Chains A and B, each alone.
Chain A
Amino acid sequence: MVKPEVIKVIDYTVDVAVIGGGPAGLAAAVSAHEHGAKSVVVIDRNSWLGGILPQCIHDGFGVEETGTSMTGPEYAEMYIEMAEKQGIDIMKETMVLQFDKKREITAVNKKGLHKIKASAIVLAMGCREKTRWNVMISGDRPSGIYTAGVAQAFINLYNIMPGKNVIILGSGDVGLIMARRLKFEGANVLGVVEILPYASGLPRNVVQCLEDYDIPLFLNHTVTCIDGKERLEQVTIAQVDGEMNIISGTEKKIECDTLLLSLGLIPENELANNIGIEIDNITGGPTVNQYLETTLSGVFACGNCLQVYDTVDVLSADAENAGRSAAKNSAIQKKDKKIIAKIVPGKGIRYVVPQIISEPGKVHLTLRVEKPGESSVLHMVAGDKEILKKRLAWVNPANMIGVDVDIPHEVLTSTQNLEVILVDR
């Protein structure tokens, strides 16, 4: 009998390992390389780079960043080229299974099991879509219920038609874009159902994806029941009141074979969660300081796994920060930083990223407000000292706000909490 050969796992050592090769991971890798990291590797489980972008064949990407509107694949290509030019290592079709506190990554691909020791890790795993059960839609469990992103992948990447008579729940941009896409493919889009009193996607998408194609938008409505023992046969939609309770008597049954769910995204953080990196309950992403470093030293986070961004432009800019910090971290290997102050979301504010300030100086904040409003003022206060005051013409939870603030040294010596609040004008 042949003695079984003992197979060794394949070992590497790198300065910066980036988990996820979407726009965030690529931007971070490019930036890490530009800031001095010698060996950078990007690991992605897909057979392609660019994350979710290759399936987003509509345009509207990169407007803020480059001034021109690109399609998703074009935008991704821009970063893929940069990464290739810099000689960044790419591992495709490689799934990261875990990493430990010493920053040793275990990943698997068709060549075998890999152990990658990294001086710094950048998390850029993106997010996954909410399912029917995140919003608890009761009824049967037939085929024909897809999340919008999955349906988009089937149509745009695999040329497979998921449905013919379609209802879309959720009016975020993905839902709106899918309404138009399905129409192009000859499907009958019966309507987009939105529980809020307004569409949650961009106004231009409401016009270009729904109005131009006479697709009805049911505001203040939701899907209350799903019928179909095998394939979907019908859904029930109903009106909701100001508290989002269903108004009985308003139920309407609509025959359809497909329900697309565009219910929002959940940052993908199993890897971080598994080793005890602190996760912010509101953002769903890791708690980070201004260098986008998580509560585990040497591990940084960016992109949609840090917080769900509105547009890819802002996301890429933040991801560069993570890449730069990772490069510096790997070069200096400094000791554990002390938490100096926490940023606390106060009145009118849903969340602020970063959540922690560990050094004085210039900090870029991204935040979301709690509800839509007209002109208001954003404040950051430390005890009785005001460090930021910014007027805003209008605010909306759907639009992320970015502000720069300079946090003086003396503030950090006197307080532990920096509160951000929104005041009506």
Chain B
Amino acid sequence: MKNFQVAIIGGGVIGSAIARELSMFKLDVAVFEMGSDVASGASKANSGVVHSGINSPTSSLKARFCVEGNKMFQSLANELDFPLQWVGKYIIAKNEEEVRDLEHLKKVGMNNNVPGLEIKNRSEVKKKEPNVSCFKALWIPTAGITLPYQFTIALAENAAENNVVFFLETKITDLKKQKNLFLIKTNKGDFQAGVVVNAAGLNCREVVSMMEEPDFQVYPCRGEYLVLDKNYSSLINSMIYPVPVKGSGVLGVHITPTIEGNILLGPSAEFIGDPYDKRTTNETMNTLFLEARGIIPSLPDKAVINAYSGIRCKLASPESGGWADYRIEESKNMPGFINLLGIESPGLTAAPAIAKEIIKMISHLIELNKKNSFKSRRHRRKRFSEMSAEEQSNLIKKDEKWGRIVCRCEHVTEAEVIEALSNPLEARVLSSVKYRCRAGMGRCQGGFCTQHIVRIMEEHFNMDVADMRLKSPNSNLFYGKTRGNQSD
């Protein structure tokens, strides 16, 4: 039976950040992820905002890790080469009454050591954001945007390059403590580990209950988004947020620019029974649009190219207001069993700081020694579409696959698709390609590139069409060959 010193359950941003941090040390580490790739849960379906830390009460874990995490982002982005832009954020007040909310937020922010907060009047906002209608706004210069799935992938791939083992499509089905070791049962066989880190997101309670009686509940709360066509990217320059809805524990429908130029509208907030019910609904899609139009009156009708939702892992019920702090703790009854519970927003921002905290906790359990071979840098190659004519020509000369455009909307080349499919995690579903090189993310939503990616999977990776999947183990794309060609 394979034995690891640390086993991490969940390859979301939290599990991946911890894995990357642990990969600096001489340790055998494994990450178990039931999805077909990392970032299969909340970590791919959120606003992608690097929050400043003004929204959580002073001295909460949320405020602490958010502010610390925010400060770590730039150097992480330099090391791991994932996209990050400090576009700043306006929280807008529609009237005098909401200005009081802005003042309150500003005060909390200052207490949390968030720098540069300023309340701007309408004309100052108009100068920067001509399409936004507001009375006054709070300007937060330290809020940024990233691509959450690329951030998670960067963390995980760097960890894998530093010898952390990733088991994809591997679900933890049971956990037991046997003397000093944990016995881990999965659909792909049994494993052992000295320390188990539960970073299972929405499933955190299920994982706890494999070991002991949980003393908490999880209240899944869905947030739906609309994605706008890149043609409308000039509508805003920074993030535009309303004042948070009181007593809701969420930030309200906001308008967020993305690094790629698509604007996001959302998220909604709806408590749901089934934690994996990620559907979008007509009512909410309409509401999102109307609310966004309240902020940007000129928002065009035909701008939506996609919709998705992400589920918040809340530890507080809607009746109690929906706000609870993170719980990051080692089990009292089961030493070595470390749990991360209720890691909802700003979890993406907090991830780097939370990971450091977990290392501290693990260092009390295992002796940690830095390894010299640690490669802290991960180089992301420039995309074809970002290169100069000369760079493009040079690459094509070296390898003609750089001259074959596979995705018409985003101008992604065959070489980039092959590179994406050759990732160190060995994630080989259509969405792994999409999240790594953007093929299929444009306005035709895969109409052109899918057939090319399928061909590349067949030619370069010897995959059978019957085994090709969209995003998860049972999301097959096809039913084999047509009748006349079944013997092929």
Contact = CB atoms under 8 A, between A and B. Distances in A.
Contacts of A112: 393, 396-397, 403
Nearest to B480: A161
Contacts of B446: 150
A252 to B, nearest CB: 17
A242 interface: no
Contacts of A12: none
Interface stretch (B22-30, B151-159, B243-251, B469-477): B469-477
B1 interface: no
B470 A129 contact: no
14 contacts: A5-B394, A6-B390, A7-B397, A128-B444, A128-B447, A133-B304, A142-B475, A155-B482, A158-B454, A159-B485, A160-B480, A161-B480, A225-B279, A231-B474
Given A112-B403, A143-B471, A143-B477, A161 B482 contact: yes
Contacts of B408: 45, 95
B390 A7 contact: yes
Contact of A139 (B279, B302, B404): B279
Q: Which 5 A-B pairs have the closest CB atoms?
A: A110-B400, A143-B470, A159-B485, A230-B474, A7-B393
Contacts of A227: 279
Interface in B67-94: none
Contact of B280 (A4, A138, A161, A230): A138
B471 to A, nearest CB: 7
A364 B405 CA distance: 37
B278 interface: yes
Nearest to B451: A153
B450 interface: yes
**Which of A93, A97, A113, A129 has the most chain B CB within a 10 Å cutoff?**
A113
Interface of A is mostly: mixed
**Which of A7, A138, A160 has the most chain B CB within a 10 Å cutoff?**
A160
A95 B405 contact: yes
Contacts of A335: none
B279 A109 contact: no
Given A136-B307, A141-B278, 12 more contacts: A6-B390, A7-B393, A112-B397, A138-B282, A139-B280, A149-B447, A155-B482, A157-B451, A158-B454, A159-B482, A160-B478, A161-B478
B405 A136 contact: no
A133 B306 contact: yes
Contacts of B454: 154, 158, 160
B481 A160 contact: yes
Interface residues of A, number: 56
A247 B391 CA distance: 57
A136 B304 contact: yes
A402 interface: no
A164 interface: yes
B273 interface: no
B225 to A, nearest CB: 12
B472 A230 contact: yes
Contacts of B470: 142-143, 230
A109 B477 CA distance: 29
A9 B393 contact: yes
Interface string B403-439: 1110011010000000000000000000000000000
B364 interface: no
A229 B405 contact: no
Interface string A128-151: 110111101011111110010110
Contacts of B278: 140-141, 229
B402 to A, nearest CB: 8
B488 interface: yes
Contacts of A225: 279
Contacts of A132: 445
Contacts of A175: none
B110 interface: no
Contacts of A273: 231
Nearest to B430: A143
A60 B167 CA distance: 53
Nearest to B476: A231
Interface in B201-251: 231
Nearest to A131: B445
A93 B404 contact: yes
**Which of A128, A153, A155 has the most chain B CB within a 10 Å cutoff?**
A128
A417 interface: no
A4 B394 CA distance: 9
Contacts of B397: 5, 7, 112
B361 interface: no
A370 to B, nearest CB: 19
Given A138-B279, A224-B282, A231-B475, A108 B396 contact: yes
Contact of B281 (A97, A134, A138, A154): A138
Nearest to A182: B482
A144 B470 CA distance: 9
Contacts of B461: none
Interface string A214-235: 0000000000111101110000
B396 A97 contact: no
Interface string B451-488: 10011000000000100011111111111111111001
Interface in A160-203: 160-164, 185-186
B392 interface: yes
B372 to A, nearest CB: 28
Contact of B451 (A7, A158, A163): A158
A337 interface: no
A132 B472 CA distance: 21
**Which of A134, A163, A230 has the most chain B CB within a 10 Å cutoff?**
A230
A425 interface: no
B181 interface: no
Contacts of B281: 138-139
Contacts of A385: none
Given A45-B405, A128-B447, A150-B447, A138 B307 contact: yes
A110 B396 contact: yes
**Which of B276, B444, B476 has the most chain A CB within a 10 Å cutoff?**
B444
A55 to B, nearest CB: 10
Nearest to B472: A230
Interface in A113-131: 113, 128-129, 131
A388 B339 CA distance: 79
B481 A159 contact: yes
Contacts of B447: 128-129, 131, 147, 149-150
Contacts of B400: 110-111
